[in-house]
Amino acid sequence: MTSRTPEKSSRPGTPSTTGALALGALGVVFGDIGTSPLYAIQACFSKSYGLKTEPQEILGLLSIIFWVLVFVVSFKYLSLIFKVDSRGEGGICSMLEKVRNERLSRRWRGFAFAITILGAALLFGDGIITPAISVLSALEGLSAHSPQASRFVMPLSVLVLVILFSIQRFGTGKVGLLFGPVMLVWFVSIGILGAIAIYDEPTILRAINPMHGFEFVQRHVATAFIVLGAIVLVVTGCESLYADMGHFGRRSIRFAWYFIVLPSLLLTYFGQGARLLADPNAAGNPFFATVPQVLLWPMIILATVSAMIASQAIITGLFSLTRQASNLQLLPPLKVVHTSSRQIGQIYVPAVNALLGIACIILVVTFHDSDALAAAYGVAVTGMMALTTTMFMVVGRSALKWSLPVVLVIGLTLLTVDLLFFSANVLKIPDGGWVPIAVASGVVAIMATWLRGTTILSRQHRLRSMSFAAFKRLWPASGPVRSKGTGVFLTTSRIGMPPALTTLYRTLHVLPEKVVLLSIQVEDVPFIDLEKNIRLYRMPENIDHVTVRRGYLDPIDAPFILQAAQSKGLEIDQEDLTYYVRQLVVDTTANRRMSRWRKRLFQFLLRNQWPAVWAFHLPPPRTVAVGIVVRV
């Protein structure tokens, strides 16, 4: 089966559709950045930084936060990075797809692959922390109500995470429609609470003046650099925001950001600053300090649900990233479930969902509270931001055809900011920052091994389709020995004899009495009429080639397709079919192309990729795997 990424995703541009997608985006795309107010200001005034809750310090921090939100999210991502997509999909892998067709030297192509692998791996490292810290920080609001309730935070967090990952199978669209209204209530609520606090202390609005930020840096040169590790928490979720572009489209995401998310975030951050001006002792939990006592319990519940939703951005972003990485042969084929007939980007990857859920629960049980997890947060996020900027410079020069001075000015400006944030977060490595780095290292090893292994395999002649004329030369003059029955061979090519067929003959010197070659191509539309898209090609020696086009939501059911092909003249007995699929067997004998541990890893990945017997709904009792020995 071959799968094509769509040329253009189905994204209607009518106002009603944009509004509906924007509402869904609130529940999927903006959950992470939307719940940062729960812990960002609190982290900035952590005791480890030694900052006092004095007016000049509060104004300075709020000024930096304001301009970081405007520069990083509005300017860098929504204005610049969002210009780059590959057939509607976002994420760093889409940047690689964008430059693959450009005439780059081998060195630059290798550089782009290396950046993509490292960036994707860091996003996976970020993905295991975001759900854990979001849920923990929200439930820690229980401690603000009753110190005795703190012992329930960890078990409740585990329960919330189990529920969160259990509902992913229902699809991004349904989850977004469920979560979107909740997040709309969240953003409106934090905006109103922030506005009330600002009304009581309007002097906080002076923080919009960037001079307060510059003066803060001048007063605390060393401390200001370290505090960047906490300030970056206000923009966590930018990378998943870009990776989720294929789920909702850039227009809906921009609409939601400028009209709902950004105003609400600015109001709540400035509101927390205003509350600190009025009561410096509120630094222990400035977010809940803005909540009136009568609304504390409702806000704790809303914050918990919103934090649960916050994890959706990174989860769906990783689903998209996994599919893109698989298309680029950076990961083995995995089961991908399409969950929408209107948005091809809305998918669910069961394997990734399960691994993320297990990893998040382990983190919650290990670290117990959000302060400990905050030390591990940021390294992967800021590293990914820097790598995305680097790839953007490559794309800007090669695919967007920008002049070199423009690329350097824009790229180096963005990169300077990214590296400042990354350098500040490197200091967190001993205190937990090693966690996402360890995860990213494992993902890099998997991606590099799979890429190397598949590259070696693609060069081997035994895995290539053989022309019919070359295949016939293997036969004796009297013709091949034919066994009773019909053999169905799945092939990714519309021409030539598949490797499973040629290997079977070379090994047994026998061919089925009738041979059917089946090629299935998945298109970018949800549904395709089966009867109108089956083609039957007659070949000599009782060999038929059936080609079919299917939509991405159509079941890829080989027996059903062959039954439909009988109306086109295919003569088969459904009870007398044997399905043959290719099974690669890695030869681990010593050679210099791959180290032993990488060969073992590649062998493991080959064994655990999505089996053809399930992908094509083949009957196991009548399916035969043809082993092809390969050396890597």
Which portions of the chain are predicted below pLDDT 70? 1-18, 87, 101, 141-150, 171-177, 313, 338-346, 371-372, 374-375, 460-464, 524-526, 552-553, 588-593, 632
pLDDT at position 176 is: 60
Neighbours of 333 (CB within 10 A): 16
Enclosing H/E stretch for 262: helix 262-278
pLDDT at position 329 is: 76
CATH fold label, 2-8+22-454 = Amino acid/polyamine transporter I (1.20.1740)
Helix axis angle, 130-139 relative to 106-127, nearest 10°? 30
Residue 262 C-alpha from the chain's centroid: 23
User: How would DSSP label each residue in 282-345?
Assistant: GGGSHHHHTS-GGGHHHHHHHHHHHHHHHHHHHHHHHHHHHHHHHHTTSS-----EE--SS-TT
Stretch(es) of the chain classified as CATH 1.20.1740.10: 2-8+22-454
C-alpha Rg value of the chain to the nearest Å: 28
pLDDT at position 3 is: 39
- The Cα–Cα gap between 312 and 131 comes to 8
- The Cα–Cα gap between 620 and 12 comes to 42
Structure tokens at 246: 């294929």
- The Cα–Cα gap between 395 and 314 comes to 24
Are 380 and 440 in contact by the 8 Å Cβ rule? The answer is yes
Q: Note the pLDDT tens digit of each residue in 317-340.
A: 788 778 777 777 788 888 877 665
- The Cα–Cα gap between 231 and 138 comes to 19
Q: Note the pLDDT tens digit of each residue in 456-486.
A: 777 765 566 788 888 888 898 888 899 999 9
Residues 6+ apart with CB under 8 A from 237: 30, 31, 32, 33, 34, 36, 130, 310, 313, 314
pTM flag (> 0.75): no
